[in-house]
Amino acid sequence: MNAAKRLATLNRIRKLSRLMDTSIRIPGVGLRIGIDPIIGLVPGAGDLISTAFSAYIIFLATRFGIPRQDLAKMIFNVGLETVVGTVPLVGDLFDAFYKSNIRNLAILEQHLAVMEPKLQEVADELLAQETSLV
């Protein structure tokens, strides 16, 4: 995969992670949630859909040659959120606070900072430009 595709994949992972875990600000509280706990409110299918999105993010992360121990941490994060998420209401609250996708994004970004610092620098610059336009 060339640098442009790697950068596009990293940006896709960042956008999906933020959509799932931090895309909505709750006014007056300062808490950010994503669509993950909202989707989780749908009985049965909600947790399955959220887990599918999280699995897709992990699949994309494997394209960066992430080490097995980091991949295991990412799978654990999603697994924990999936298992606890099956408990009605308590699971949805856990989803809102645990944010497995953001945790997994941090694991990937730590890996890239060590293994591909140039890619990480370019991605950070583009992210800064996008946020300054908003």
pLDDT at residue 23 greater than cutoff 70: yes
Which has the higher per-residue pLDDT, 57 or 38?
Answer: 57
Of residues 41, 52, 125, the one with CA closest to residue 85? 41
Number of Cβ within 10 Å of residue 8's Cβ equals 13
Asked whether residue 80 is assigned to any structural domain, the reply reads: yes
Residue 29: the pLDDT is 87
Residue 15: the pLDDT is 95
Asked whether residue 40 is assigned to any structural domain, the reply reads: yes
pLDDT at residue 105 greater than cutoff 60: yes
Beta strands 24-26; 31-33: pairing state: antiparallel
Averaged pLDDT, 72-87: 94
Distance, in Å, from the CA atom of 27 to the CA atom of 70, rounded to the nearest integer, reads 35
Distance, in Å, from the CA atom of 104 to the CA atom of 86, rounded to the nearest integer, reads 20
Structure confidence at residue 41 as a pLDDT band (50, 70, 90): confident
Asked whether residue 45 is assigned to any structural domain, the reply reads: yes
Q: Is the pTM of this model over 0.85?
A: yes
Domains identified in the chain, total number: 1
Asked whether residue 134 is assigned to any structural domain, the reply reads: no
Asked whether residue 91 is assigned to any structural domain, the reply reads: yes
Question: For residue 73, what are the domain limits?
Answer: 3-126
Q: Three-state SS for 1?
A: coil
Residue 77: the pLDDT is 97
pLDDT at residue 131 greater than cutoff 70: no
Distance, in Å, from the CA atom of 82 to the CA atom of 65, rounded to the nearest integer, reads 25
Asked whether residue 132 is assigned to any structural domain, the reply reads: no
